Amino acid sequence: MSTKLLSMRDAVARYVGDGVSIAIEGFTAFICFAAGHEIIRQRRRDLTLIRMTPDVIYDQMIAAGVARRLVFSYLGNPGVGPLNCIRRAVEQGIPSPLEIEEYSHFGMVGRYIAGAARLPFYPLRSYIGSEMPGVNPRIKFVRSPYGDEEVAVVPPLNPDVAFIHAQRADTDGNTQVWGLLGVQKEVAFAAGKVIVVVEELVDESVIRADPNRTLIPGLIVDAVVHEPFGAHPSYVQGYYDRDNAFYLEWDEISRNQAATESWLEKWVYGVADRAEYTRKLGQETVGRLKPVASFSAPVSYGSHQ
Amino acid sequence: MTDQPYTASEMMITAAARALAGVRTVFVGVGLPNIACNLARRTVAPDLELIYEAGVFGARPTRLPLSIGDPALVTGSLCTMSMADLFGCYLQGGRIEVGFLGGAQVDRFGNLNTTAIASYTRPKVRLPGSGGACEIAIHARRLFYIMRLSKRAFVGRLDFRTSPGFLDGGDERRRLGMPGGGPQLVVTDKALFDFSGPDNEMRLVSLHPGIKVDEVTSEIGWPLCKASQMGETPAPTAGELECIRRELDPAGMYRN
C-alpha cells in the first residue's frame, strides 16, 4: 500500500483545487491553522469555506481572498468579539464580496450527520419562531410520517475536502482524539477527501491498545500530515493551550485590512511551512502554552487467548 | 452606582447566581453567565452541573474559561462528548433546566436578535448569528438573559428574530410546540425583569440599590410594564464578592 504520509504543502497541492468546498472543523480546539495558512500560501481562489464557527482561521483566509462562499453557524472570535475581516467582507465586500449560507449550531451538526450517513435530510426540533428559515430557503419543515407534528429539516453537507486536526494517528490514518470531539467524526465521514493532521505519529499498536479513543478510521483517510503545533493559536488538549493573547491581538490587527495584510505577509507568506512558523513564534511562546500533565487512570481491555 | 462597593457586573453576576438556587443543570455561556454559574455552584446551587455547548457536561473549570471551548472545561469534567450528543441527547432531549442567553436586541416578549442590525441582506452591523442560541431558546426549560440596559438593545421591534422568546406573546410558544418554557428572568445592570406581564410581556420587578424607575424606563423602547410591588435587588454580600474577586475572576477581566 502506498503511504498516506504527505507534507502539508503536498496535501494541499493534491487535494485543494480552486473552487472546491473545504471544512477545517474543530470547535474552539483542534483548529488546523497550518492547513489554512498553506491554502493561503498556495493562493487558492473561489473556495467554499465550511465551519460551524469560522473563527480566526477563516477570518484570515477570507482576508487573504481565498473564499467565495461561507457556510457557518456562529461568526465570532470566541471569548473576544467579532470577526472583523469577515464583517468587512459581508458589510463592505472587502477584499471581495462573500456569499453566506447560515444555520444554527444544531443545524450544522445535523447537516454533517446527514452527509456522513448519506441521508437526504436531518430532522431537528429547531428554527421554530426564528427568522432564519426566511433567509435560508434550504431550512425547511416537514410533517412527521408518524404523527401530526412538524419538524425542521436541513440538507446533507458533504464537503469536498475535510482537514481534521488530532493528537495522534498511525500512518494509515487511524486517528485518536481526546478532549472536545466537536463534529470531527461527522465531518470526516461526510467529506469526499479526508486529510488528518496530527501532533504525533504513532505505531498501529498504540491505536490498537486503546480502540475506544479512535474517532476516525484509516479506512476513510486519504492523507496523514504530521504537523506538530499545527493548531496554534487554537489548542490541542494535553499538548498546548489556546494562545489567548494572540486571539486578543488578532482583534486589533484585523480591524484594518492593511494591518491584516502585513500580518499575513509576515506570518503566512513570509514562512515556508509550519515548522518555520513555530520557530518564528519562539521557545518562550511555545513553552508558555505547555500545560502541566494530568493523566487519566489506565483501563484494561483484557487479553483473550 | 459609583459609590457602591461593587461594580455593575458584580451586581449582575450575583443576581443571576441567586436565581439558580436549587437548579441541577445549566447551559452556560462565557463571560458573566460563566462566573454567575460558578458562583451559584459555590453558594445556592451545590448540585449544579455546568454544561457548555462545546460538548462538556459537569465542568469544574480551575480557571476562568477564556472561551466557550476552553481546555480547562474538559479537564476534570464528568463527560466530554460530541456536539451531536450535546445538542441531540442533552439539549433536545430535555435535560437542560436553565439556559443563559443574551443578544444585541431583545423585545418586550423576550425574542432575541444576534444576527444583524438593519437588514439581513444589507447589514449595518453583521452580528455572530445563532450559534446554539435558537436551540437553547426552544429547549431549555427556563431561559435567563444577561444584558446591559440600553435603548439600543431593548427595542420595540427587532431587526431580525434569531431566537424565540414568547414570540407575539400569550401561548404562541406552546402552540408552536416548543418544549422549553421560555424566558423567565432578565438580569441587567440596573434592574431585574420577569415575564409575568400581560401575555408574558417583560415586567420590571426589582431595582438595583440606588436606581430609580425612570433610569430604567428611559432605556426601554416600549411602554414598560411594572410590578405593583417593586422590589430592591439585594446588594452582593461580602462573601459573594470575595468569591468572585479571589476565586472566579482574580484578574478582574469581567469587573466592569
Q: Per residue in B213-238, pLDDT tens? A: 999 999 999 999 999 999 999 999 99
pLDDT tens digits, one per residue of A210-237: 999 999 999 999 999 999 999 999 999 9
Q: Among partner residues A29, A131, A182, which is closest to B160 by beta-carbon distance?
A: A131
Question: At CA B208, angle to CA B205 and CA B209, rounded to 5?
Answer: 130
CA distance B111 to A247: 31
Q: Name the minimum distance, in Å, from the CA of B192 to any CA of chain A.
A: 25
Residue A148 lies in a domain: no
Chain-chain contact of A237 with B71 (C-beta, under 8 angstroms)? yes
What is the bridge-based pairing of β-strands B25-28 and A214-216? unpaired
Average pLDDT over residues A117-127: 98
Give residue B2's pLDDT.
53
Chain B, residues 1-60, CB within 8 A of chain A, namely: 30-31, 53-56
Residue A61 lies in a domain: yes
Residue A293 lies in a domain: no
CA distance A286 to A232: 9
Least confidently predicted of A186-195, A198-207, B120-129: B120-129
Q: Report how far apart, in Å, the C-alpha atoms of A208 and of each of A167, A283, B89, B186, B223 are.
A: 15, 34, 29, 51, 66
Chain-chain contact of B138 with A125 (C-beta, under 8 angstroms)? yes
ipTM: 0.96
pLDDT at A205 > cutoff 70: yes
pLDDT at B3 > cutoff 80: no
Give residue B1's pLDDT.
46
Residue B83 touches chain A, beta carbons under 8 Å: yes
CA distance A73 to A86: 13
Chain-chain contact of A105 with B83 (C-beta, under 8 angstroms)? yes
| Residue A212 grid cell | 475506544
Give residue B243's pLDDT.
96
Residue B71 touches chain A, beta carbons under 8 Å: yes
Under a CB-based contact definition with an 8 Å cutoff, are residues B252 and B21 in contact?
A: no
pLDDT at A252 > cutoff 90: yes
Residue A197 lies in a domain: yes
SS3 of chain A: CCCCECCHHHHHHHHCCCCCEEEECCCCECCCHHHHHHHHHCCCCCEEEECCCCHHHHHHHHHCCCEEEEEECCCCECCCECCHHHHHHHHHCCCCCCEEEECCHHHHHHHHHHHHHCCCCEEECCCCCCCHHHHCCCCEEEECCCCCCEEEEECCCCCCEEEEEEEEECCCCCEECCCCCECHHHHHHHCCEEEEEEEEECCHHHHHCCHHHEEECHHHCCEEEECCCCCCCCEECCCECCCHHHHHHHHHHCCCHHHHHHHHHHHHHCCCCHHHHHHHHCHHHHHHCCCCCCCCCCCCCCCCC
Which of A222, A241, A221, A226 lies closest to A285, judged by CA?
A241
Neighbouring residues of B56: CB distance < 8 A, sequence distance ≥ 6: A180, B50, B73, B74, B77, B79, B80, B81
Give residue A1's pLDDT.
56
Give residue B29's pLDDT.
80
Chain-chain contact of B131 with A73 (C-beta, under 8 angstroms)? yes
pLDDT tens digits, one per residue of B12-54: 999 999 999 999 999 998 789 999 999 999 999 999 999 999 9
Chain-chain contact of A124 with B92 (C-beta, under 8 angstroms)? yes
Chain-chain contact of A104 with B84 (C-beta, under 8 angstroms)? no
Under a CB-based contact definition with an 8 Å cutoff, are residues B67 and B131 in contact?
A: no
Q: Name the minimum distance, in Å, from the CA of A305 to any CA of chain B.
A: 33
Superfamily (CATH H level) for B8-248: Glutaconate Coenzyme A-transferase (3.40.1080.10)
Residue A274 lies in a domain: yes
> Cα dihedral sign for B244, B246, B248, B254?
positive
Chain-chain contact of B82 with A106 (C-beta, under 8 angstroms)? no
pLDDT at B114 > cutoff 60: yes
pLDDT at B253 > cutoff 90: no
Q: What is the CA radius of gyration of chain B?
A: 18
CA distance A200 to A296: 19
CATH number of the domain enclosing A206: 3.40.1080.10
Residue A30 lies in a domain: yes
Q: What are the chain A neighbours of B177 within 8 Å (beta carbons)?
A: 125, 128, 149-150
Residue B67 touches chain A, beta carbons under 8 Å: yes
Active site residue B53: yes
CA distance A67 to A87: 14
Chain-chain contact of B135 with A126 (C-beta, under 8 angstroms)? yes
H or E segment to which residue B124 belongs: strand B123-126
φ, ψ for residue A84, nearest 5 deg: -65, -35
Domain boundaries, given as residue ranges, for chain B: 8-248
pLDDT tens digits, one per residue of A131-165: 999 999 999 999 999 999 999 999 999 999 999 99
pLDDT at A303 > cutoff 80: yes
Q: How many CB atoms lie within 10 A of CB B157?
A: 12
CA distance A185 to A115: 11
User: Amino acid identity, residue A4?
Assistant: K
For B162, nearest residue in chain A (alpha carbons): A130
Total domains in the fold of chain A: 1
- Count Cβ atoms within 10 A of the Cβ of residue A271 and give its class: 0-12 exposed, 13-18 middle, 19 or more buried: middle
For B254, nearest residue in chain A (alpha carbons): A79
H or E segment to which residue B42 belongs: helix B32-42
A vs B, Cβ pairs < 8 A, gives: 168
Chain-chain contact of A237 with B74 (C-beta, under 8 angstroms)? yes
The range of the structural domain enclosing residue A93 comes to 8-103+158-288
CA distance B163 to A221: 38
Q: What are the chain A neighbours of B65 within 8 Å (beta carbons)?
A: 79
Average pLDDT over residues B248-254: 90
N-to-C CA span, chain B: 12
Residues present in chain B in total: 256
Could you tell me how far CA A24 lies from the centroid of its own chain?
A: 3
Chain-chain contact of B173 with A149 (C-beta, under 8 angstroms)? no
pLDDT tens digits, one per residue of B133-145: 999 999 999 999 9
Least confidently predicted of A42-51, B64-73, B84-93: B64-73
Q: What are the chain B neighbours of A242 within 8 Å (beta carbons)?
A: 66-67, 70-71
Q: What are the chain B neighbours of A135 within 8 Å (beta carbons)?
A: 120-121
For A82, nearest residue in chain B (alpha carbons): B128
pLDDT at B131 > cutoff 80: yes
Q: Name the minimum distance, in Å, from the CA of A10 to any CA of chain B.
A: 30
CA distance B99 to B102: 10
Residue A141 lies in a domain: no
Q: Name the minimum distance, in Å, from the CA of B66 to any CA of chain A.
A: 6
Residues of chain B with pLDDT > 90: what percent?
Answer: 92
Residue A1 lies in a domain: no
Residue B111 touches chain A, beta carbons under 8 Å: yes
Place of cell 422568546: B165
